[in-house]
């Protein structure tokens, strides 16, 4: 089983927050930082405003699955940080994927949008 490409260090999160560009919709906020590294990495942040630990973990799994299934459609060399908003706690997978792809389109990181 391959290791999931995620951002884990606080310094990496801060680099994306400070030097990246952000767009938001009702459920998610997405920060993008272009790097020279091959592939993409994702960091997911879900605060206690979203819900209890069960809800927060479910939202994290949904975002991770959206990234995994659409990873081939994204351009290479990206660090992505996704921050869940309170509305994401009641969202299902279909709405979450729509919100994720909408933000990818706004950032022009989808290969189809170019």
- Rounded to two decimals, the pTM is 0.90
Helix, strand, coil percentages (3-state) for the chain, rounded to 5, are 45, 25, 30
Flag whether pLDDT at 19 surpasses 90.
Answer: yes
For residue 112, what pLDDT is reported?
Answer: 59
- The CATH number of the domain covering residues in 10-107: 3.30.230.10
* Confidence category of residue 1, pLDDT binned at 50, 70, 90: low
- Reply yes or no on whether the pLDDT at 15 is more than 90: yes
Residue 32 neighbours by CB distance under 10 Å? 23
Per DSSP, the chain holds a count of helices (H) and strands (E) of 3, 4
Banded pLDDT at 3 (limits 50, 70, 90) = confident
Instruction: Work out the mean pLDDT of the chain and round it to a whole number.
Output: 91
% of residues, the chain, pLDDT over 70: 96
Tell me the per-residue pLDDT of 73-104, one tens digit each, with 9 for 90 and over: 888 999 999 999 999 999 999 999 999 999 99
Sequence ranges of the domains in the chain: 10-107
């Amino acid at each position: 089983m391959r290791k999931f490409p995620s951002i884990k260090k606080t310094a990496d999160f801060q680099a994306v927050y400070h030097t990246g560009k952000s767009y938001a919709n009702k459920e998610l906020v997405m920060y993008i930082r272009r790097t020279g590294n091959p592939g993409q990495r994702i960091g997911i942040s879900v605060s206690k405003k979203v819900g209890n630990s069960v809800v927060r973990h479910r939202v994290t799994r949904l975002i991770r699955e959206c990234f995994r299934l659409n990873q081939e459609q994204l351009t290479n060399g990206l660090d992505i940080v996704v921050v869940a908003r309170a509305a994401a706690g009641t969202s299902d997978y279909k709405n979450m994927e729509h919100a994720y792809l909408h933000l990818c389109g706004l950032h022009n990181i989808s290969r189809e949008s170019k």
